Structure 1
Amino acid sequence: MAECQRFVVDCPSRLLFDQLADKWSMMVLAVLDPGPMRFNSIKRHLEGVTQKALTQCLRRLERNGLLTRRVIPASPVAVEYEISPLGRSLQVPFKALYNWTVVNLDQVEEARQEFDQRLAA
């Protein structure tokens, strides 16, 4: 597939990028990094996520091939999510991005404060 030269609305890479960079996807992949987890366990690790938002995020990640979903035949039936090999290939850049946020958080906070002060003046 040809690379999009601009961020046009119908560019497939734009849609995928939007789905990867949404509010919860990177955090879900970070939570699942150690290994498979059930839905409620993932939810407990993501303070503030609603059941609906997490369900939608997990479905998008599964549809994009980044997660696998396994039904556990128990009583009651349980579902477990795990990062797929394709999803694992994102862990290095995601961890680099996360580390960047930790290393640069103080500078970002300073920039925010300076911006807010200029706006208030």
Structure 2
Amino acid sequence: MSTVKEIYNWIDSIAPFAAAESWDNSGLLVETGEPEIDRVLLALDITGEVAREAQEISAQLIVAHHPVIFHPLRSLHPGQPAYWLVRYGINAICAHTNLDVAVGGVNDALARRLGLRCLEP
């Protein structure tokens, strides 16, 4: 078992959240206070369906690439994925541009797949 903080720190060690673009909203975006994490769901985007799937498999955390909360929330209602995360008690860590620019991250993986060489940050 791990804690949300331990998982956050592990992600931060390979894709520092401080490296995210200033306009991005990467990090721990939904924290429910769940002390122990024994099941994590990985996703590109957190949708209502993804939140329901996490609830069905008893995941306490979703780690996603795209931020579940990007623009400031003015209200919270059942049409929003963040609503379902709170309702189901599921934490969310989103690693977006910090994972894109990390050594060995998304951009490096795409460059390798495309056969690009002589890359610069």
Larger Rg computed on CA atoms: 1
Q: Larger helix proportion, structure 1 or 2?
A: 1
* TM-score normalised per structure 1: 0.30
